[in-house]
């Protein structure tokens, strides 16, 4: 397909091109553009024979690992001062493609390190306001029906660096990498609650982890029956220790802290339990000194991962802009991209499948003319919720609110090609 001026007609200010470039039939056009802009070397004869074709390669390994040339792609680990096991590690969002986060790069947030749990000795107790308290182990859970769901997990503290008065000059992953997306497989929690028989006065269930912090959160019973899982597998294999081996609670779309890892106890109650992890932490302080408690769903959100903070542009030309969008309320309906700091917007193409409460990959072509630009993405979910600007979010919440930051990210592109975090 030949790229003519009509096809390249920008649809929004500062060079954003029509999303049909990424839809069916547009790939040829995009290829033509890439050829135009990338200017690959002209082939002038048969290929050479590289060293790896001259001798047989390595043997097979029982458990695989990535190429040694990719070892620079890693989580950004930040332990809290004076601890080794409390803190977080962030997914390098800018280095990844698609929507599935490799298990080895899934973000982590621990409060007392990663316990080394013997699965043969680990048990899950369900008790409290139930007819029959029951104890499950890995073996007994394995006999219940399993379901698999591709869902994001996001720490409610994600993106908090952007609360700072000056924009931190960091990568997309350093700023927003407390979100990841996996296929989680396990037993619907409602099945297990039905086995125990929930009493009529029950409204909540407190979940407790088997780490040294005994992480505990109160979960409305409705959520437990709605779409909660006791997950045993992540991306097809048993959970990693840092993701809760051998079993974790998984609450799609809700703040990550509630998906209690190393799950050992579910106590059914009439009221929330007011644990330390939902009173001193994970509450949202308002300007009047009151705090919001039990703010569970993660807001509609997106971030452009390419190009993004700390990257350098190769020079004027057509770029494939891409990023991630997600919402705790369900599916992403639409993502819009601006190259002029939010004055005009173009609709991005969404990669299929667009799943509820999962990361969604968006793409759009952008012809950068070498001048100053501010790239932004704005997600809209199936409930009609629109990702807010930073100033609107901060005005609504006041200066002390730290969690649930989900404002539009602005990346300024300077004429010399630097990509910088800015507050537009």
Query: Interface residues with Co ion (CB under 5 A)?
Result: 156, 255, 295
Q: How far apart are CA 88 and CA 92, in angstroms?
A: 13
Q: Closest separation between CB of residue 295 and Co ion, Å?
A: 4
Burial class (CB in 10 A: 0-12, 13-18, 19+), 127: middle
Q: Closest separation between CB of residue 258 and Co ion, Å?
A: 9
Query: Which tokens go with 180?
Result: 């990841």
Q: Closest separation between CB of residue 291 and Co ion, Å?
A: 10
User: Nearer to Co ion by C-beta: 66 or 281?
Assistant: 281
User: Nearer to Co ion by C-beta: 260 or 321?
Assistant: 260
222: Cβ–Cβ under 8 A, 6 or more apart, which residues? none
* Residue of this chain nearest to Co ion (CB atom): 295
User: Nearer to Co ion by C-beta: 242 or 277?
Assistant: 277
Terminal C-alpha separation, the chain: 38
71: Cβ–Cβ under 8 A, 6 or more apart, which residues? none
Q: Closest separation between CB of residue 402 and Co ion, Å?
A: 10
320: Cβ–Cβ under 8 A, 6 or more apart, which residues? 30, 34, 306, 363, 364, 365, 366
Closest CA to 161 of 58, 53, 76: 76
User: Nearer to Co ion by C-beta: 307 or 328?
Assistant: 328
Closest CA to 411 of 107, 163, 96, 170: 170
Q: Closest separation between CB of residue 213 and Co ion, Å?
A: 18
Give one word for 343, left, alpha or beta, with left for phi > 0 and alpha for psi -120 to 50: alpha
- Specify whether the CB–CB gap between 65 and 55 falls below 8 A: no
- Specify whether the CB–CB gap between 129 and 270 falls below 8 A: yes
Q: Closest separation between CB of residue 33 and Co ion, Å?
A: 43
Query: Measured between alpha carbons, how far is residue 347 from residues 315, 338, 342, 379 in Å?
Result: 24, 9, 13, 10
- Specify whether the CB–CB gap between 409 and 301 falls below 8 A: no
Q: Closest separation between CB of residue 403 and Co ion, Å?
A: 5
User: Nearer to Co ion by C-beta: 156 or 421?
Assistant: 156
Helices (H) and strands (E) in the chain, counts: 6, 26
Q: How far apart are CA 350 and CA 333, in angstroms?
A: 9
Neighbours of 163 (CB within 10 A): 19
Q: Closest separation between CB of residue 97 and Co ion, Å?
A: 30
User: Nearer to Co ion by C-beta: 282 or 319?
Assistant: 282
User: Nearer to Co ion by C-beta: 246 or 256?
Assistant: 256
Give one word for 305, left, alpha or beta, with left for phi > 0 and alpha for psi -120 to 50: alpha
Reduced to 3 states, what is the DSSP secondary structure of residue 191? Answer: helix
User: Nearer to Co ion by C-beta: 255 or 340?
Assistant: 255
Taken in order 93, 98, 100, 105, the sign of the CA dihedral is: negative
CA angle 31, 32, 38 (to 5 degrees): 80
Q: Closest separation between CB of residue 87 and Co ion, Å?
A: 19
User: Nearer to Co ion by C-beta: 154 or 340?
Assistant: 154
User: Nearer to Co ion by C-beta: 283 or 322?
Assistant: 283
Q: Closest separation between CB of residue 218 and Co ion, Å?
A: 12
User: Nearer to Co ion by C-beta: 277 or 336?
Assistant: 277
Q: Closest separation between CB of residue 333 and Co ion, Å?
A: 24
């Amino acid at each position: 397909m030949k790229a003519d001026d009509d096809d390249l007609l920008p649809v929004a200010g500062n060079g954003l091109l029509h999303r049909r470039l990424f839809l069916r039939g547009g790939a040829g056009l995009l290829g033509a553009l890439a050829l135009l802009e990338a200017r690959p070397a002209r082939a002038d004869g048969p290929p050479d024979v590289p060293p790896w074709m001259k001798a047989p390669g390595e043997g097979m390994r029982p458990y695989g690992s990535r190429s040694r040339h990719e070892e620079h792609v890693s989580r950004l680990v930040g332990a809290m001062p004076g601890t080794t096991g409390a803190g977080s590690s962030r997914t390098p969002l800018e280095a990844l493609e698609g929507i599935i986060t490799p298990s080895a790069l899934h973000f982590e947030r621990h409060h007392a390190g990663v316990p080394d749990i013997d699965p043969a000795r680990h048990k899950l107790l369900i008790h409290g306001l139930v007819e029959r308290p029951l104890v499950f182990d890995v073996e007994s859970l394995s006999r219940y029906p399993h379901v698999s769901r591709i869902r994001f997990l996001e720490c409610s503290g994600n993106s908090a660096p952007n609360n700072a008065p000056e924009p931190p000059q960091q990568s997309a992953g350093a700023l927003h990498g407390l979100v990841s997306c996996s296929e989680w497989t396990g037993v619907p929690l409602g099945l297990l609650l039905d086995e125990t028989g929930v009493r009529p006065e029950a409204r909540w269930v407190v979940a407790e982890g088997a780490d040294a912090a005994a992480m505990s959160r109160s979960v409305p019973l409705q959520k437990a029956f709605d779409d909660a899982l006791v997950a045993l597998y992540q991306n097809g294999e048993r959970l990693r220790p840092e993701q809760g081996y051998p079993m974790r609670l998984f609450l799609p779309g809700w703040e990550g802290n509630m998906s209690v890892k190393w799950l050992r106890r579910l106590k059914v109650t009439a009221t929330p339990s007011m644990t330390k992890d939902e009173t001193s932490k994970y509450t949202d302080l308002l300007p009047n000194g009151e705090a919001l408690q039990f703010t569970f769903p993660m807001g509609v959100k997106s971030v452009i991962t390419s190009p993004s903070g700390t990257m350098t542009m190769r020079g004027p030309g057509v770029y494939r802009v891409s990023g991630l969008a997600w919402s705790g309320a369900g599916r992403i309906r639409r993502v819009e991209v601006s190259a002029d700091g939010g004055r005009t917007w173009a609709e991005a193409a969404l990669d299929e499948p667009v799943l509820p409460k999962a990361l969604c990959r968006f793409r759009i072509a952008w012809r950068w003319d070498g001048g100053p630009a501010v790239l932004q993405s704005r997600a809209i979910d199936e409930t009609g919720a629109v990702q807010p600007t930073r100033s609107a979010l901060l005005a609504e919440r006041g200066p002390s609110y730290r969690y649930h930051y989900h404002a539009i990210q602005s990346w300024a592109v300077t004429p010399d090609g630097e990509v910088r975090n800015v507050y537009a």
